[in-house]
């Protein structure tokens, strides 16, 4: 019954996002201890995690930079994924984003960050992933892997737990790394996906691919009533009507609940919006309000 209240397919599928993220965990976490570290994965997931299936593309890029090599495999993987689905990867597939989504479900007031804050990610990408490893080497404190909170949560903590269980001496992560994790965990209570919105270097790359990705968002301007519901539902403060390809957008498809925004490709002649009416939007609004 509830599905009928959503205006289009994108809005209906958006409700299943958490289950998509859960299903993809089985790919990234290698339930059968499958370690294919000769292959770069497309997501931000530390390869030091005991269950990591693939190599983290950012870690590979930083390490290759420290070796003065060009990471063709990592670049190819990220570029191919970005060209196909762009920021959908962040919203639907990334395990660290999923973790932040889960913590973000704790009912606290969430603040929206200004649009310019998303550009900080490019500084992280340029300085901590490329420049510092290339110029100062991977032993420098600013090497991305020594700071990465995903590495601390996905690799260091499991390793510490395992060492504690085995009775081995526990090796603690650096104080800087622990501080970053602490600040980030606290930030998740007040900002939706603070790592993705502010700092993630991989999200910076996928954010750029939002501008040309094959799978993208589309606003049906014939039916859009400028009700502002899409902007209201976006947790990142993006207004799909004016900035549909905003680089901070993780394509969570929450904005499609209004019925006039939908996921699309050039192969799809998306006229679902034409069928939706203002009343559909009103029903959706009722549904969203009831969810809250």
Minimal distance, residue 72 CB to other proteins, in Å: 3
Whether 157 contacts 196, CB under 8 Å: no
Nearer to other proteins, 1 or 266 (CB): 266
CB of 265 to other proteins, least distance (A): 7
To other proteins, the closest distance from the beta carbon of 47 in angstroms equals 4
> Of the two residues 121 and 218, which places its CB atom closer to other proteins in the complex?
218
Q: How far is the CB of 117 from other proteins (least distance, A)?
A: 26
Which of residues 80 and 286 has its CB atom nearest to other proteins in the complex? Answer: 80
Binding site for other proteins (CB under 8 A): 37-40, 47-48, 50, 55-56, 59-60, 63-64, 66-80, 82-84, 137-138, 143, 145-146, 151, 155, 159, 209, 212-214, 216, 265-266
Contact 58, 133 (CB under 8 A): no
Q: Dihedral through CA 83, CA 87, CA 93, CA 95, nearest 10?
A: 120
Structure-token pair, residue 192? 């939706």
* Kind plus residue range of the DSSP H or E element containing 58: helix 57-66
CB of 143 to other proteins, least distance (A): 8
**Residue among 50 and 237 whose Cβ is closer to other proteins:** 50
Q: DSSP letter string over 191-258?
A: BSSHIIIII-HHHHHHHHHTTT-SSEEEE-TTT-----HHHHH-TT---TTT-TT-TT-----GGGGG
Question: What is the distance between the alpha carbons of residues 190 and 109, in angstroms, rounded to a whole number?
Answer: 6
Rank residues 144 and 191 by Cβ distance to other proteins and give the closer one.
144
């Amino acid at each position: 019954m509830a599905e009928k209240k959503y205006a289009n397919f994108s809005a209906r599928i958006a409700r299943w996002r958490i289950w998509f993220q859960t299903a993809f965990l089985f790919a990234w976490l290698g339930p059968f201890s499958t370690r294919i570290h000769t292959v770069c994965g497309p997501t931000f997931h530390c390869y030091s995690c005991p269950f990591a299936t693939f190599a983290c593309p950012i870690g590979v890029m930083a390490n290759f930079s420290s070796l003065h090599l060009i990471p063709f495999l990592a670049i190819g993987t990220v570029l191919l994924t970005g060209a196909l689905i762009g920021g959908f990867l962040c919203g639907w597939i990334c395990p660290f984003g999923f973790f932040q989504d889960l913590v973000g479900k704790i009912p606290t007031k969430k603040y929206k960050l200004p649009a310019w804050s998303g550009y900080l990610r490019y500084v992280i990408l340029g300085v901590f992933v490329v420049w510092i490893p290339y110029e100062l080497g991977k032993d420098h404190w600013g090497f991305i892997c020594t700071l990465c909170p995903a590495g601390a949560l996905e690799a260091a903590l499991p390793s510490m737990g395992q060492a504690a269980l085995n009775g081995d001496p526990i090796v603690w992560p650096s104080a800087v790394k622990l501080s970053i994790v602490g600040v980030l965990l606290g930030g998740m209570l007040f900002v939706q996906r603070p790592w993705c919105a502010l700092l993630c270097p991989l999200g910076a790359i996928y954010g750029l691919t939002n501008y040309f990705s094959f799978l993208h968002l589309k606003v049906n301007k014939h039916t859009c009533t400028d009700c502002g519901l899409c902007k209201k539902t976006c947790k990142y403060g993006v207004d799909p009507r004016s900035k549909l390809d905003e680089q901070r957008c993780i394509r969570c498809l929450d904005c499609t609940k209004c019925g006039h925004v939908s996921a699309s490709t050039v192969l799809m002649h998306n006229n679902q919006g034409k069928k939706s009416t203002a009343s559909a939007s009103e029903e959706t609004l009722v549904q969203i309000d009831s969810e809250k």
